[in-house]
Amino acid sequence: MASLKQIRARIRSAKNIQQITKAMKLVAAARLKKATDRVLEARPYSEKLYDLMSSLSRAGELPSDPLMQVRPVQKYALIVLSSDRGLAGSYNTNIIRKAWDFLRSKNEAATLVTVGKKGNQFLSKRGYAVSLNVTVPSSGARLEDAVAVAEHCKQMFLSGEVDAVYVAYSKFYSAIRQTPQVVQLLPITPPPAEEGVSGTSDYVFEPEAASILGALLPRYLLTVVWQAMLEATASEHGSRMTAMTSATDNAGKMIHSLTLRANRERQASITKEILEVVGGAEALKG
């Protein structure tokens, strides 16, 4: 049975932890608002670019482009988007598990491109080669990070070092819902035609189609990488805010429970002292 002094020490510790988790919750909530705005602002552009790719795929036979070259996969690269810091609930666990399951499902050799320390630490310790590791600030990924990752993967693909590139990230829906997924980046394949839309369309390209693809495909690759990073940043902050909210509430429940125990111990101690005084007085009377 803990003494009254020990219980009060635990109450002080719980209050200190509650203050920390509450502060982290408020910071995560502020960053989540900014990250959500960035995701929502970027989605229309990425969706319109996706629609443009779908439209071009119905333009008939397009000229070949190195980024669209499909070849037998002997080695592939996987981009893993995790966070630099913990205390984000199940965010890192879910995305690492998704990446781990994907790696184990493939028989080909793999090289990794990691964004965030958590994914890099877990996977590098299990024997996977990491060709590039990018650390991101606490506020989230920056455009220059996306440019560095996209350019690195593009060069690996064009040089033949890898035959395919995938990205594992958490798609953001809300603060309590983030879905890990793996998406193929390279080779770029035309999006499937929408249901009810068939056949080809007649296009007049100005300039020629090869020049348009040469400018469009690298931009499309960068846009997909950047959108994935924005989704991952919003997912991280949402998961951290939810986790810190739960931790703050649990700390409050623990403080309440410990306070009740402390009051009972104090009352029992007072009752014992009164009984001792009464007992001593009765003994003196006898």
Q: DSSP for 201-234?
A: -----SS-HHHHHHHHHHHHHHHHHHHHHHHHHH
Q: Are strands 129-134 and 109-115 parallel, antiparallel or unpaired?
A: parallel
3-state secondary structure of 47: helix
Question: Tell me, what's the pLDDT at 57?
Answer: 62
pLDDT at 203 over 70: no
Lowest pLDDT segment from 15-19, 27-31, 85-89: 85-89
**What is d(CA 277, CA 269) in angstroms, rounded to the nearest whole number?**
12
Question: Tell me, what's the pLDDT at 58?
Answer: 62
Lowest pLDDT segment from 98-107, 146-155, 270-279: 270-279
Q: What is the mean pLDDT of residues 220-225?
A: 90
Question: Tell me, what's the pLDDT at 164?
Answer: 92
Confidence of residue 60 (pLDDT cuts 50, 70, 90): low
Residue owning tokens 């959108």: 227
Per domain, the residue ranges of the chain are 4-26+247-285, 28-191+202-241
Question: Tell me, what's the pLDDT at 61?
Answer: 63
Lowest pLDDT segment from 14-18, 51-55, 59-63, 205-209: 59-63
> Is CATH 3.40.1380.10 correct for 28-191+202-241?
yes
Question: Tell me, what's the pLDDT at 188?
Answer: 82
Question: Tell me, what's the pLDDT at 113?
Answer: 93
Question: In this structure, which CATH number among 1.10.287.80, 3.40.50.2300, 1.10.630.10, 3.40.50.720 belongs to the domain 4-26+247-285?
Answer: 1.10.287.80
pLDDT at 194 over 70: no
- Neighbouring C-beta atoms of residue 183, cutoff 10 Å: 13
Measure CA 161 to chain center: 27
Confidence of residue 24 (pLDDT cuts 50, 70, 90): very high
Work out the percent of the chain whose per-residue pLDDT is above 70: 90
- The helix-helix angle for 209-285 and 143-158 (nearest 10°) equals 130
